[in-house]
Amino acid sequence: MSAKYLLGIDLGTTNCVLSYVELDAEEPQIEMLKVEQLVAASTLEQRNALPSFLYLAPEHEAVSGALDMPWRQGRQYCVGEYARRQGAEMPERTVVAAKSWLCHSRVDRRQPLLPYGAPAEVDTVSPVTASQRYLEHLAACWNAAFPDAPICDQQVVLTVPASFDAAARELTREAATGVGFPSDLVLLEEPQAALYAWLAARGDAWRKDLTQGDRLLVCDVGGGTTDLTLIDVTEEEGELELRRLAVGEHLLVGGDNMDLTLAHRVAEMFADQGIKLDAWQSISLWHSCRDAKEVLLSADPPESHRVSVLGRGSKVIGGAVSVDVPRHMATDLLLQGFFPDCQLSDKPQRHRASGFQEIGLPFESDVAITRHLAAFLMAHASDTDEAAYPTHVLFNGGVFKADALRSLVLETLGRWSTEDYPVCELPGQRDLDFAVARGAAYYGWTKHQGGMRIRGGAARSYYVGVETAGLAIPGTPRPLRAMCVVPFGMEEGTESDVPSGEIGLVLGEPAHFRFFSSAVRPGDRPGDVLPQIDEEQLAETDSLEAVLDAGDNEQETYVPVRFQSRITELGVFELWCVSTCSDQRWKLEFSIREQSPDEAGA
């Protein structure tokens, strides 16, 4: 059965959104699927977004049928709004931010780790499984709404953060295809999706909004993550083209951090009055502080905003407590904390003093988004400019509903840039919450119809760790060098033979390679060897391995190989070991598991 619809899915850290468009429509009419979900026990409602929360219920709650969905009875978990609400009072039974765990390469993402630190009686799940449950829910909603066009027969574009490395992308794909998504689903980077949504909304006007030589910064600050992307406007045969220049590192800092920071301070104000808030009230305070943030950082803010927390019992007035939050407190905490005035040359502060690092999520030690932004622009300096100065900014993410934050980013960029580069926001209406899903649908539609595309290719360059030859020193691992196997910008549907000396592999044993990626080394070519691994530039991701079967000739115990890298049309990364003395080849797979440093050597 051929596909009738194109589905664009934003699998967000805190919310999932599904949009769709008819593939053969001449003018794309992008619609949002209303996602039916539990909002309370036994209560179903259709909402625009599915909160990315998973609640693992005790058995006595599940047997009552409280978590039944129209398509499934007797389930012992639920996702969506009810799960989000339950999370407030039962964090040990609620999975949050599964997506951030998906790209946390220091843990085995297929092991039941979540909720992190849950007591033994809770049936924990893996980050992959949690993501699957959100996707499965979206698929079931779709199938219920469109019984004649099941999701397995449709075309699907699923968005991932631009900063997701190849392993995290592969896990996302695995999660989706495991729950009935079509195997030819396409992954699209979220900041690009946001830009597609802008293109869809602007129509042909965008060619007037932008000119050759412009440079766009997509500044996407979601609930839990910050994702930066630079896109250049170039001209090809008289036509404007968009080409992605660079993507930023995966930054675990977002709007939720800001709301929590404010909530923490406001809780102290309550404490000063002798009022101690319980867990339920703290969550309610968190939500009130999100509203307070938007009010106090709006274009025309009041001097103060009253934050009230209602009582837990049925006496709402008697139990209510409130404080006035002055505007300067919000600006001090949020603007100076998350968007401090800084120089272009400032670097994010790293705290690596402690030798012991908990295995939990690697939250940013420096929450200053402006400093991360400065480092990002500096990392992509060209020969002529000291940094990659953008001319236009596209904001995405609910955080930027606060006017003050948008103007602050624009002002800061303006101050950094030279006079030749005035910085302005892209014109048109903002769609901060749903742009990614809408843009994904629009991208799929243009791909089908042969319209405008942002050219990108690989967002990072990739490296295999190769041991240096030399005398072994007992107790010391051999120094490791990194050989580039995928250059930055390598396009989909291409492959590359990596020129290198022969690498000897032992047959019948697993070959194991440490694997690295870099978002800041666009100049490296396949075969280039970096003499050492600079942690500032190269991030280690999941290692790669393959078991090399011996083949026909059992005499052979050792085979010389070279690498060949491929990126399929669907954007799937593959690395092959190709024998230099026969036509045998072996595909290396990600080994998504925990490992100690001493077993990770090649």
Partner 1 sequence: MHLEPTTAAVVNPSGSGPHQPQPVKRPLRGDVMRFFLAIQCFFRVLFDRRFADGLKKLTQAEPDVSPTESLPRTATTPSPSQRSDAIALLATLQREARFVDLVNESFEQYSDAQVGAATREVLTDCGKVLNRLFALKAVVDIAEGESLEVPSDYDTGRFRLTGDVSGQPPLTGKLMHAGWIATQCELPSWTGSSEAALVVAPAEVQVD
From candidates 4, 22, 34, 366, binder to partner 1 by CB under 8 A: 34
Closer residue to partner 1 in complex, CB, 322/595: 322
From candidates 183, 314, 354, 384, binder to partner 1 by CB under 8 A: 314
Helical residues (DSSP H) of 154-309, grouped into ranges: 166-177, 190-202, 206-209, 255-272, 279-296
From candidates 63, 205, 271, 320, binder to partner 1 by CB under 8 A: 320
Cα(566)–Cα(496) distance, integer angstroms: 6
Size of the site for partner 1 (CB under 8 A): 38
Min dist. Cβ of residue 134 to partner 1 (A): 18
Stretch of 27-35, 192-200, 451-459, 471-479 contacting partner 1, by CB under 8 A: 27-35
Amino acid making up residue 340: P
**Is residue 341 a contact residue for partner 1 (CB under 8 A)?**
no
Segment 430-469, which members bind partner 1 (CB under 8 A)?
A: 434
CB 228 within 8 A of CB 257: no
Closer residue to partner 1 in complex, CB, 236/291: 291
Q: Which residue has the tokens 């022969």?
A: 502
Closer residue to partner 1 in complex, CB, 70/477: 70
Min dist. Cβ of residue 221 to partner 1 (A): 21
From candidates 119, 147, 238, 355, binder to partner 1 by CB under 8 A: 147
Stretch of 6-14, 269-277, 307-315, 514-522 contacting partner 1, by CB under 8 A: 307-315
Angle between helical axes of 403-416 and 369-379 (0-180°, round to 10): 40
From candidates 25, 39, 378, 529, binder to partner 1 by CB under 8 A: 39
Segment 76-95, which members bind partner 1 (CB under 8 A)?
A: 89
**Is residue 480 a contact residue for partner 1 (CB under 8 A)?**
no
Beta bridge partners of 512: 545
Closer residue to partner 1 in complex, CB, 48/331: 48
Closer residue to partner 1 in complex, CB, 88/378: 88
Beta bridge partners of 453: none
**Is residue 273 a contact residue for partner 1 (CB under 8 A)?**
no
Beta bridge partners of 227: 220
Min dist. Cβ of residue 64 to partner 1 (A): 8
Min dist. Cβ of residue 18 to partner 1 (A): 11
Cα(523)–Cα(462) distance, integer angstroms: 12
**Is residue 506 a contact residue for partner 1 (CB under 8 A)?**
no
Segment 155-184, which members bind partner 1 (CB under 8 A)?
A: none
**Is residue 534 a contact residue for partner 1 (CB under 8 A)?**
no
Dihedral over alpha carbons 109, 366, 379, 533 (to 10 degrees): -50
**Is residue 119 a contact residue for partner 1 (CB under 8 A)?**
no
The token pair at 583 is 């036509």
**Is residue 22 a contact residue for partner 1 (CB under 8 A)?**
no
User: Taking CB under 8 A as the rule, which mask of x and - marks residues 50-79 in contact with partner 1?
Assistant: ---------------xx-x-xx-x------
Residues in CB range of 10: below 8 A, 6 or more apart: 16, 17, 18, 159, 190, 193, 434, 436, 437, 440
Angle, vertex CA 402, rays to CA 397 and CA 408, nearest 5: 95
The CB density around residue 383, as the number of other CB atoms within 10 Å, is 4
Q: For residues 208-218, b (16+ Cβ closer than 10 Å) or e, as one string?
A: ebbeeebbbbb
CB 579 within 8 A of CB 587: no
Cα(187)–Cα(11) distance, integer angstroms: 11
Contact positions toward partner 1, by CB under 8 A? Answer: 31-32, 34, 39-48, 65-66, 68, 70-71, 73, 89, 143-147, 288, 291, 306, 308, 310, 314-318, 320, 322, 434
